[in-house]
Amino acid sequence: MADELAVVALLRSVQAGPDQATRDRIRQRVLTAPPPVPVAPVRRISARARLAVAAAAVLCLLMSLAGMSVLLSRDALPGDALYGVKRTAESASLGFVFDEEGRALKHLEFAAARISEMEALADRGAPSGDHLRALNDLDADATEGSNRLTTYGANADGRVLPSLSDWATAQHTRLTGLRPRLPVDVAERTDGSLALLTAIAQRADDLDARAGCSPITSGETDALGPLPAQDCSKVIVDPNSSSSRIPSGQPTQSTPPSSVPVSPTQPSPPQQAQPPSPGLLPTVPGLPPVSNPTTKPGITIPLPLPLPSISLPGLPGISFGN
Protein backbone atom coordinates (compact mmCIF):
# COMPACT_ATOMS: atom_id res chain seq x y z
CA MET A 1 0.00 0.00 0.00
CA ALA A 2 3.05 2.26 -0.51
CA ASP A 3 1.44 4.20 -3.35
CA GLU A 4 -1.75 4.90 -1.41
CA LEU A 5 0.20 6.12 1.59
CA ALA A 6 2.16 8.44 -0.65
CA VAL A 7 -1.03 9.98 -2.01
CA VAL A 8 -2.38 10.57 1.49
CA ALA A 9 0.85 12.26 2.53
CA LEU A 10 0.73 14.47 -0.53
CA LEU A 11 -2.89 15.55 0.18
CA ARG A 12 -2.00 16.42 3.74
CA SER A 13 0.72 18.71 2.55
CA VAL A 14 -1.61 20.61 0.21
CA GLN A 15 -3.20 23.69 1.87
CA ALA A 16 -6.69 23.35 0.34
CA GLY A 17 -9.70 25.39 1.53
CA PRO A 18 -11.15 28.91 1.44
CA ASP A 19 -8.90 31.80 2.17
CA GLN A 20 -9.32 34.08 5.16
CA ALA A 21 -11.51 36.61 3.36
CA THR A 22 -13.89 33.92 2.23
CA ARG A 23 -14.14 32.58 5.73
CA ASP A 24 -14.93 36.01 7.13
CA ARG A 25 -17.68 36.53 4.55
CA ILE A 26 -19.28 33.17 5.34
CA ARG A 27 -19.14 33.89 9.07
CA GLN A 28 -20.80 37.28 8.59
CA ARG A 29 -23.61 35.78 6.50
CA VAL A 30 -24.35 33.16 9.13
CA LEU A 31 -24.41 35.72 11.94
CA THR A 32 -26.77 38.12 10.12
CA ALA A 33 -29.19 35.49 8.79
CA PRO A 34 -32.86 35.75 10.10
CA PRO A 35 -33.95 33.16 12.65
CA PRO A 36 -35.65 30.11 11.18
CA VAL A 37 -39.47 30.07 11.18
CA PRO A 38 -40.74 27.43 13.60
CA VAL A 39 -42.76 24.72 11.91
CA ALA A 40 -46.11 23.99 13.55
CA PRO A 41 -46.34 20.46 14.74
CA VAL A 42 -48.64 18.21 12.79
CA ARG A 43 -51.87 17.62 14.76
CA ARG A 44 -52.87 14.03 14.72
CA ILE A 45 -56.58 13.19 14.51
CA SER A 46 -57.82 11.13 17.39
CA ALA A 47 -59.58 7.84 16.95
CA ARG A 48 -62.92 9.33 18.12
CA ALA A 49 -62.71 12.08 15.51
CA ARG A 50 -61.94 9.58 12.77
CA LEU A 51 -64.93 7.51 13.90
CA ALA A 52 -67.25 10.58 13.77
CA VAL A 53 -66.09 11.43 10.25
CA ALA A 54 -66.66 7.86 9.13
CA ALA A 55 -70.13 7.80 10.72
CA ALA A 56 -71.11 11.05 8.99
CA ALA A 57 -69.95 9.69 5.65
CA VAL A 58 -71.93 6.48 6.17
CA LEU A 59 -75.03 8.49 7.16
CA CYS A 60 -74.80 10.62 4.02
CA LEU A 61 -74.43 7.49 1.94
CA LEU A 62 -77.48 5.88 3.56
CA MET A 63 -79.57 9.00 3.06
CA SER A 64 -78.60 9.12 -0.59
CA LEU A 65 -79.48 5.47 -1.04
CA ALA A 66 -82.80 5.96 0.78
CA GLY A 67 -83.70 8.91 -1.43
CA MET A 68 -82.89 6.94 -4.54
CA SER A 69 -84.90 3.98 -3.26
CA VAL A 70 -87.95 6.13 -2.58
CA LEU A 71 -87.67 7.68 -6.01
CA LEU A 72 -87.35 4.31 -7.72
CA SER A 73 -90.19 2.79 -5.66
CA ARG A 74 -92.85 5.22 -6.87
CA ASP A 75 -93.97 2.77 -9.56
CA ALA A 76 -93.45 -0.38 -7.48
CA LEU A 77 -96.31 -2.89 -7.28
CA PRO A 78 -97.17 -5.52 -4.65
CA GLY A 79 -94.64 -8.31 -4.98
CA ASP A 80 -91.80 -6.02 -6.12
CA ALA A 81 -88.67 -5.67 -4.02
CA LEU A 82 -89.19 -1.93 -3.48
CA TYR A 83 -92.91 -2.07 -2.67
CA GLY A 84 -92.19 -2.12 1.07
CA VAL A 85 -90.14 1.05 0.66
CA LYS A 86 -93.07 2.67 -1.14
CA ARG A 87 -95.52 1.83 1.65
CA THR A 88 -93.06 3.01 4.30
CA ALA A 89 -92.65 6.33 2.50
CA GLU A 90 -96.44 6.73 2.34
CA SER A 91 -96.75 6.13 6.07
CA ALA A 92 -93.93 8.59 6.76
CA SER A 93 -95.63 11.27 4.66
CA LEU A 94 -98.58 11.24 7.07
CA GLY A 95 -96.29 12.65 9.74
CA PHE A 96 -95.95 15.88 7.76
CA VAL A 97 -99.74 16.48 7.64
CA PHE A 98 -101.03 18.12 10.81
CA ASP A 99 -104.71 18.87 10.10
CA GLU A 100 -107.44 16.25 10.33
CA GLU A 101 -108.88 16.88 6.88
CA GLY A 102 -105.47 16.61 5.24
CA ARG A 103 -104.71 13.28 6.93
CA ALA A 104 -108.10 11.90 5.88
CA LEU A 105 -107.53 12.92 2.27
CA LYS A 106 -104.08 11.28 2.37
CA HIS A 107 -105.65 7.96 3.37
CA LEU A 108 -108.19 8.23 0.56
CA GLU A 109 -105.37 9.01 -1.87
CA PHE A 110 -103.53 5.86 -0.79
CA ALA A 111 -106.71 3.79 -1.14
CA ALA A 112 -107.21 5.02 -4.72
CA ALA A 113 -103.57 4.17 -5.47
CA ARG A 114 -104.21 0.56 -4.45
CA ILE A 115 -106.85 0.23 -7.17
CA SER A 116 -104.39 1.66 -9.69
CA GLU A 117 -101.87 -0.96 -8.57
CA MET A 118 -104.45 -3.73 -9.02
CA GLU A 119 -105.08 -2.53 -12.56
CA ALA A 120 -101.35 -2.76 -13.30
CA LEU A 121 -101.21 -6.20 -11.65
CA ALA A 122 -104.08 -7.39 -13.84
CA ASP A 123 -102.18 -6.25 -16.94
CA ARG A 124 -99.10 -8.10 -15.71
CA GLY A 125 -101.01 -11.27 -14.81
CA ALA A 126 -99.74 -11.20 -11.23
CA PRO A 127 -100.62 -13.98 -8.76
CA SER A 128 -103.57 -13.74 -6.38
CA GLY A 129 -101.43 -12.95 -3.35
CA ASP A 130 -100.35 -9.60 -4.77
CA HIS A 131 -103.97 -8.64 -5.49
CA LEU A 132 -105.08 -9.64 -2.00
CA ARG A 133 -102.37 -7.53 -0.41
CA ALA A 134 -103.53 -4.51 -2.39
CA LEU A 135 -107.18 -5.18 -1.41
CA ASN A 136 -106.30 -5.38 2.28
CA ASP A 137 -104.42 -2.09 2.10
CA LEU A 138 -107.34 -0.56 0.16
CA ASP A 139 -109.82 -1.49 2.87
CA ALA A 140 -107.57 -0.21 5.66
CA ASP A 141 -106.93 3.18 4.06
CA ALA A 142 -110.54 3.64 2.92
CA THR A 143 -111.87 2.87 6.40
CA GLU A 144 -109.39 5.20 8.12
CA GLY A 145 -110.02 8.01 5.65
CA SER A 146 -113.79 7.67 5.97
CA ASN A 147 -113.63 7.69 9.77
CA ARG A 148 -111.55 10.86 9.88
CA LEU A 149 -113.44 12.70 7.14
CA THR A 150 -116.97 11.94 8.40
CA THR A 151 -115.94 13.01 11.89
CA TYR A 152 -114.52 16.24 10.51
CA GLY A 153 -117.56 16.81 8.30
CA ALA A 154 -120.10 16.21 11.07
CA ASN A 155 -118.29 18.42 13.59
CA ALA A 156 -116.52 21.11 11.56
CA ASP A 157 -117.22 21.41 7.84
CA GLY A 158 -120.09 19.51 6.25
CA ARG A 159 -118.95 20.42 2.73
CA VAL A 160 -116.49 17.51 2.72
CA LEU A 161 -119.28 14.92 3.00
CA PRO A 162 -120.48 15.15 -0.64
CA SER A 163 -116.85 14.89 -1.75
CA LEU A 164 -116.42 11.70 0.26
CA SER A 165 -119.55 10.23 -1.30
CA ASP A 166 -118.34 11.11 -4.81
CA TRP A 167 -114.94 9.57 -4.10
CA ALA A 168 -116.43 6.31 -2.83
CA THR A 169 -118.77 6.10 -5.83
CA ALA A 170 -115.91 6.68 -8.28
CA GLN A 171 -113.71 4.01 -6.67
CA HIS A 172 -116.67 1.60 -6.62
CA THR A 173 -117.06 2.11 -10.38
CA ARG A 174 -113.34 1.51 -11.00
CA LEU A 175 -113.25 -1.64 -8.88
CA THR A 176 -116.42 -2.99 -10.48
CA GLY A 177 -114.93 -2.60 -13.94
CA LEU A 178 -111.72 -4.32 -12.79
CA ARG A 179 -113.43 -7.29 -11.17
CA PRO A 180 -113.86 -9.45 -14.35
CA ARG A 181 -110.09 -9.26 -14.98
CA LEU A 182 -109.13 -10.62 -11.56
CA PRO A 183 -108.57 -14.24 -10.54
CA VAL A 184 -111.63 -16.05 -9.23
CA ASP A 185 -110.61 -16.02 -5.56
CA VAL A 186 -109.63 -12.36 -5.76
CA ALA A 187 -112.94 -11.47 -7.46
CA GLU A 188 -114.85 -12.98 -4.54
CA ARG A 189 -112.72 -11.05 -2.09
CA THR A 190 -113.37 -7.87 -4.12
CA ASP A 191 -117.06 -8.04 -3.21
CA GLY A 192 -116.15 -7.14 0.37
CA SER A 193 -114.28 -4.03 -0.76
CA LEU A 194 -117.20 -3.04 -2.99
CA ALA A 195 -119.57 -3.36 -0.04
CA LEU A 196 -117.22 -1.19 2.03
CA LEU A 197 -117.17 1.56 -0.60
CA THR A 198 -120.98 1.42 -0.82
CA ALA A 199 -121.23 1.78 2.97
CA ILE A 200 -118.86 4.78 2.94
CA ALA A 201 -120.92 6.55 0.27
CA GLN A 202 -124.14 5.82 2.16
CA ARG A 203 -122.71 7.09 5.45
CA ALA A 204 -121.56 10.32 3.83
CA ASP A 205 -124.99 10.82 2.19
CA ASP A 206 -126.84 10.15 5.47
CA LEU A 207 -124.74 12.64 7.40
CA ASP A 208 -125.01 15.23 4.63
CA ALA A 209 -128.80 14.84 4.58
CA ARG A 210 -128.86 15.83 8.27
CA ALA A 211 -126.74 18.92 7.81
CA GLY A 212 -129.72 21.08 8.80
CA CYS A 213 -130.72 18.89 11.73
CA SER A 214 -130.01 19.14 15.38
CA PRO A 215 -128.29 16.94 16.33
CA ILE A 216 -126.56 15.60 13.24
CA THR A 217 -125.08 12.48 14.83
CA SER A 218 -126.44 10.04 17.37
CA GLY A 219 -123.32 10.24 19.53
CA GLU A 220 -122.22 6.72 18.58
CA THR A 221 -119.45 5.74 16.16
CA ASP A 222 -118.25 2.69 14.29
CA ALA A 223 -115.34 1.93 11.98
CA LEU A 224 -116.62 4.35 9.32
CA GLY A 225 -117.16 7.26 11.72
CA PRO A 226 -120.12 8.81 13.57
CA LEU A 227 -123.58 7.36 13.09
CA PRO A 228 -126.29 9.76 11.87
CA ALA A 229 -129.11 10.66 14.24
CA GLN A 230 -132.44 8.94 13.71
CA ASP A 231 -134.60 11.93 14.65
CA CYS A 232 -134.10 15.14 12.74
CA SER A 233 -135.18 18.50 14.10
CA LYS A 234 -134.96 20.97 11.27
CA VAL A 235 -133.72 24.51 11.75
CA ILE A 236 -136.26 27.01 10.36
CA VAL A 237 -135.22 30.60 9.91
CA ASP A 238 -137.87 33.33 9.68
CA PRO A 239 -136.67 35.82 7.03
CA ASN A 240 -138.39 38.70 8.88
CA SER A 241 -136.68 38.08 12.21
CA SER A 242 -133.76 36.47 13.93
CA SER A 243 -133.22 32.76 13.35
CA SER A 244 -135.13 30.30 15.49
CA ARG A 245 -134.78 26.57 15.96
CA ILE A 246 -138.02 24.60 16.16
CA PRO A 247 -138.81 20.95 15.51
CA SER A 248 -139.92 20.25 11.99
CA GLY A 249 -143.12 18.58 13.13
CA GLN A 250 -144.20 21.27 15.62
CA PRO A 251 -147.33 23.05 14.42
CA THR A 252 -147.33 26.80 14.25
CA GLN A 253 -150.30 29.14 14.38
CA SER A 254 -150.50 32.10 12.11
CA THR A 255 -153.29 34.66 11.75
CA PRO A 256 -153.32 37.90 9.84
CA PRO A 257 -152.44 40.94 11.92
CA SER A 258 -155.33 42.90 13.22
CA SER A 259 -155.71 46.34 14.70
CA VAL A 260 -158.34 48.34 16.50
CA PRO A 261 -159.41 51.82 15.34
CA VAL A 262 -157.49 54.63 16.95
CA SER A 263 -159.27 56.87 19.36
CA PRO A 264 -157.42 60.20 19.58
CA THR A 265 -159.43 61.50 22.52
CA GLN A 266 -158.67 59.02 25.29
CA PRO A 267 -155.38 57.12 25.06
CA SER A 268 -154.98 54.23 27.46
CA PRO A 269 -151.89 54.00 29.66
CA PRO A 270 -149.08 51.67 28.50
CA GLN A 271 -149.17 48.23 30.06
CA GLN A 272 -146.55 45.51 30.46
CA ALA A 273 -146.67 43.07 27.55
CA GLN A 274 -147.34 39.50 28.56
CA PRO A 275 -145.25 36.69 27.05
CA PRO A 276 -146.86 34.84 24.17
CA SER A 277 -148.68 31.64 24.85
CA PRO A 278 -146.71 28.35 24.76
CA GLY A 279 -146.17 26.83 21.37
CA LEU A 280 -145.98 30.20 19.54
CA LEU A 281 -142.81 31.81 18.26
CA PRO A 282 -142.16 35.47 19.04
CA THR A 283 -141.76 36.15 15.33
CA VAL A 284 -145.04 34.54 14.26
CA PRO A 285 -148.04 36.89 14.16
CA GLY A 286 -150.25 36.46 17.23
CA LEU A 287 -153.87 35.59 17.61
CA PRO A 288 -156.54 38.27 17.03
CA PRO A 289 -157.65 40.22 20.08
CA VAL A 290 -160.12 38.40 22.25
CA SER A 291 -163.46 40.17 22.44
CA ASN A 292 -164.38 41.39 25.92
CA PRO A 293 -167.32 43.58 26.86
CA THR A 294 -165.51 46.67 27.97
CA THR A 295 -165.95 50.34 27.36
CA LYS A 296 -162.22 51.12 27.09
CA PRO A 297 -161.36 52.47 23.67
CA GLY A 298 -158.62 50.67 21.75
CA ILE A 299 -155.35 52.23 20.61
CA THR A 300 -152.72 51.27 18.07
CA ILE A 301 -149.13 52.37 18.75
CA PRO A 302 -147.19 52.73 15.47
CA LEU A 303 -143.54 51.64 15.57
CA PRO A 304 -140.69 52.72 13.29
CA LEU A 305 -140.20 49.24 11.85
CA PRO A 306 -142.90 46.80 10.67
CA LEU A 307 -143.43 44.28 13.43
CA PRO A 308 -145.94 41.46 13.78
CA SER A 309 -149.07 42.21 15.71
CA ILE A 310 -148.99 41.06 19.32
CA SER A 311 -152.18 41.11 21.34
CA LEU A 312 -152.20 41.68 25.07
CA PRO A 313 -154.46 39.18 26.84
CA GLY A 314 -155.07 41.47 29.79
CA LEU A 315 -155.83 44.53 27.71
CA PRO A 316 -158.17 43.79 24.83
CA GLY A 317 -158.13 46.18 21.97
CA ILE A 318 -154.42 47.10 22.27
CA SER A 319 -151.97 45.87 19.68
CA PHE A 320 -148.41 46.77 18.65
CA GLY A 321 -147.31 47.07 15.04
CA ASN A 322 -149.23 47.74 11.86
Q: What is the pLDDT of residues 91-143, one digit of tens each?
A: 888 889 989 999 999 999 999 999 999 999 999 888 999 999 999 999 999 99
Q: List the one residue out of 269, 275, 271, 278 whose CA is nearest residue 310.
A: 275
Residue-wise pLDDT for 151-186, tens only, equals: 999 888 889 999 999 999 999 999 999 999 999 999
pLDDT at residue 285, rounded to an integer: 39
Residue-wise pLDDT for 17-43, tens only, equals: 677 788 788 888 888 878 777 777 767
**Residue 246 in 3-state DSSP?**
coil
Kindly tell me if the per-residue pLDDT of 296 is higher than 60.
no
Alpha carbons 178 and 64: distance in angstroms, whole number: 38
Instruction: Say how many Å lie between the first and final Cα of the chain, rounded.
Output: 157
pLDDT at residue 314, rounded to an integer: 52
Confidence of residue 15 (pLDDT cuts 50, 70, 90): low
Confidence of residue 47 (pLDDT cuts 50, 70, 90): confident
Mean pLDDT, range 53-74, rounded to an integer: 80
Mean pLDDT, range 230-237, rounded to an integer: 65
Helices (H), 33-127: 47-72, 83-93, 100-124
pLDDT at residue 231, rounded to an integer: 78
pTM of the model: 0.56
**Residue 168 in 3-state DSSP?**
helix
Alpha carbons 288 and 317: distance in angstroms, whole number: 9
Residue-wise pLDDT for 206-224, tens only, equals: 999 888 888 888 889 999 9
Average pLDDT, the chain: 76
Could you give the angle at the alpha carbon of 248 between the alpha carbons of 258 and 240, nearest 5°?
40
Percent of the chain with pLDDT over 90: 33
In angstroms, the Cα distances linking 63 to 37, 53, 91 are 46, 15, 18
Mean pLDDT, range 2-15, rounded to an integer: 80
